Amino acid sequence: MFVEEGNVKRYGTYEFDNRDAGQMLEYMEARIEALKRRILQLEAENEALRWKQYTDRYSEYEVCYAASA
């Protein structure tokens, strides 16, 4: 495949997949499950980082309050 954009020439390749529909469905379902697990991991990591940010901010206020008292 050849695509020309202005003065830039881009070449691409076609990939052929020999899997039948059943194998492809199994592959896609497994891929979806893996992505769901990864989303859950990222959400948990995000929540942990938010809690860390909250506790860091809270401890800063505690230090400021203790210093002013």
What tens digit of pLDDT does each residue of 7-64 get?
A: 666 666 667 777 788 999 999 999 999 999 999 999 999 999 999 888 887 777 666 6
Q: Does 3 score more than 60 pLDDT? A: no
> What local confidence, expressed as pLDDT, does residue 29 receive?
97
Task: Give the 3-state secondary structure of residue 36.
Answer: helix
Q: Does 69 score more than 60 pLDDT? A: no
Tell me the C-alpha distance between 67 and 41, whole Å: 39
Could you tell me the pTM of the whole model?
Answer: 0.54
Q: Does 2 score more than 60 pLDDT? A: no
Which of 41, 44, 40 lies closest to 52, judged by CA?
Answer: 44
